Amino acid sequence: MRILVISDLPQFVTGGAEKQAANLIEAWLEAGNEVTCFGRRMGAEPVHIGRHLVPARRIRTLQRAGRLLRGASYFFSLSLLLVRHRGQFDLVYTRFLGEAAVTACLLKSLRLVNAALVATPANTGGRRGGDAGFLASVPCRNALVRLLDAHCDAINLIAPAMAAELRKIGFSGRNFSHIPNGVAVRADAPPHSQRRHMFLAVGRVARQKGYDVLIEALALIKNRLRPGMVRIAGDGAERPQLQARAAQLKVADAIEWLGELDHASVLRELEDAKVLLLPSRYEGMSNAGLEAMERGLAMLMTRCGGLDTYVQPDMGWVIEPGDAESLAAAIEASLSSSAQSLQSMGSCNRACVLQRFALATVATRYLELFSRLVAARSAGTP
């Protein structure tokens, strides 16, 4: 099968959705499929993914223009690429239910592109930042929703909460599929008795990730803190402000800011920690969370309608986003848990990954969906 992926890829961007796209592309290539990638941050040179070289094309945009001109330039550039190369792919896969999916749907409605189309929203959160929130914020929202609903052969929902959010803004749900994000499964991780650190948070330092709420929560349990108890792997523009707030609340010593780490270093940190902190305001299906579960960590996370829906009480703690008091209470509960209890939670999380989120299984489910859609389109059936 010839698959076109519209998404930027690492090394050009470090977001979780893009990392997931790269992981899937590698698995699809290993299964013998052809993959090409279009992205706005990439050049025209092929991109290395694992042992493969993936052909790439750049979607040219006016980056310094306003939102309207930037969007128009993206639309025309991607449209030109799709029409020019339309005979070279059987299926289009877009990460995010945004500009790329809208462009492909419009070209399909005009019969300029005839490939099957699968769009995967990346975030839940409604108006707080999810894909549904983006669509609700743009002009001609109702027309765009009708266009996407009519011409996406499948809208794949990686997080359960996405279904209600999309239906709320007008999607019918007739073309929803439910394949989660996947994670590579490795050999068993070290037991908790060999791990040196209690808490690890992984993710860019941005408001979405809720590190400001984490700092407020730590200030509520100062008597339980010790130096370097919380390690944060990631960086971003908000870090100086958060560090200043931590110093103001006298909890700065409890936090060790590790900065941006490569993937191998993140995996080493995961193998050295006991509990993953994921205090996000919104998420889709967190890659960091999946990798933590695969590495056998207990989970302490917010209720965002994604990975948290799989976390039962014997796997960790789930709290409401933005609630510092509940976060503080959950941190205290984890500190009061025995080593055996945390180890058991980690084992349950790893078992959940093996059953539901193994990358090889997820990639195969996508290919099965793609094959059905391509066959249906070839046969002229809906």
CA–CA gap between residue 314 and residue 112 (Å, rounded): 52
According to the model, what pLDDT value does residue 62 have?
84
According to the model, what pLDDT value does residue 126 have?
47
CA–CA gap between residue 58 and residue 60 (Å, rounded): 6
Please give the share of the chain, as a percent, with pLDDT higher than 70: 98
Q: What is the pLDDT of residues 204-245, one digit of tens each?
A: 999 999 999 999 999 999 999 999 999 999 999 999 999 999
**Which of the two residues, 87 and 44, has the higher pLDDT score?**
87
Q: What is the pLDDT of residues 348-370, one digit of tens each?
A: 999 999 999 999 999 999 999 99
Q: According to DSSP H, which parts of the chain are helical? A: 16-30, 67-84, 99-109, 131-137, 141-151, 162-168, 211-220, 239-248, 263-271, 287-294, 324-336, 339-356, 359-379
Question: Which amino acid is it at 177?
Answer: S
Residue 176 binned pLDDT confidence (cut-offs 50, 70, 90): very high
Please give the share of the chain, as a percent, with pLDDT higher than 90: 80
Q: What is the pLDDT of residues 102-160, one digit of tens each?
A: 999 999 999 999 999 999 998 787 445 578 888 888 888 899 999 999 999 999 999 88
| Least confident range of 252-256, 306-310, 322-326, 365-369 | 306-310
According to the model, what pLDDT value does residue 131 have?
82
What is the mean pLDDT of the segment spanning 372-380?
A: 89
Q: Are 145 and 168 in contact (CB under 8 A)?
A: no
CA–CA gap between residue 38 and residue 228 (Å, rounded): 42
Task: Tell me whether the omega of the peptide bond preceding residue 11 falls within 30 degrees of 0, making it cis.
Answer: yes
pLDDT reading at 381 higher than 90? no
**Which of the two residues, 189 and 200, has the higher pLDDT score?**
200
CA–CA gap between residue 297 and residue 346 (Å, rounded): 4
SS3 content of the chain, % helix, strand, coil (to 5): 45, 20, 35
Q: Which of 154, 159, 99 is nearest to 367 (CA)?
A: 154
DSSP tag of 227: T
According to the model, what pLDDT value does residue 129 have?
56
Structure tokens at 74: 């993206």
Q: What is the pLDDT of residues 35-61, one digit of tens each?
A: 999 999 888 889 999 899 999 999 998
